[in-house]
């Protein structure tokens, strides 16, 4: 049987491309990609609570995103974490005099 190991690259992308990619800033939505989604609180057994994504667990060897000592604080973190680094898509313009129902103006994306 022929040996094809020498034909298999360690990475599908050319090293020059990867170097150029490292020079760019993260996209605006990168923070939301890290913190968005659903989170769950898992008791760690030593009076600490781990914050895990839904598909992660300590049983599978996953590290928690955060560890907290208070269960209520951990539950609040799980609820609010998806809002962290969220890009604002609209705001209420306080200068707009549109009557009783304020108008909503869309913000331009960078």
- Helices within 1-110 (DSSP H only): 15-22, 30-35, 71-80
Q: Check residues 89 and 39 and name the one with the higher pLDDT.
A: 39
Token pair of 42 as six digits:
């898992």
Q: Check residues 27 and 20 and name the one with the higher pLDDT.
A: 20
Q: What is the dihedral of CA 57, 61, 62, 63, to 10 degrees?
A: 120
Block residue for tokens 């300590």: 58
Point out the least confidently predicted range of 22-26, 74-78, 91-95, 101-105.
101-105
Query: Which run of H or E residues covers position 67?
Result: strand 66-68
Q: Is the pTM higher than 0.75?
A: no
Grade residue 94 by pLDDT with cuts at 50, 70 and 90.
low
Q: Check residues 30 and 18 and name the one with the higher pLDDT.
A: 18
C-alpha pair distances (Å), 47 with each of 23, 43, 52, 58, 70: 42, 7, 16, 15, 8
Token pair of 25 as six digits:
């800033």
| pLDDT computed for residue 8 by the predictor | 52
> Where do the structural domains in the chain lie, given as residue ranges?
37-86
């Amino acid at each position: 049987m022929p040996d094809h190991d020498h034909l298999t690259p360690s990475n599908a992308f050319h090293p020059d491309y990867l170097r150029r990619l490292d020079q760019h800033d993260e996209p605006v939505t990168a923070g939301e990609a890290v913190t968005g989604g659903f989170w769950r609180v898992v008791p760690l057994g030593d009076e600490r609570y781990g914050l895990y994504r839904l598909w992660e667990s300590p049983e599978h060897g996953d590290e928690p995103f955060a560890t907290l000592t208070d269960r209520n604080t951990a539950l609040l973190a799980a609820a609010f974490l998806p809002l962290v680094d969220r890009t604002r898509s609209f705001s209420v313009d306080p200068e707009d005099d549109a009557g009783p129902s304020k108008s909503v103006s869309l913000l331009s994306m960078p």
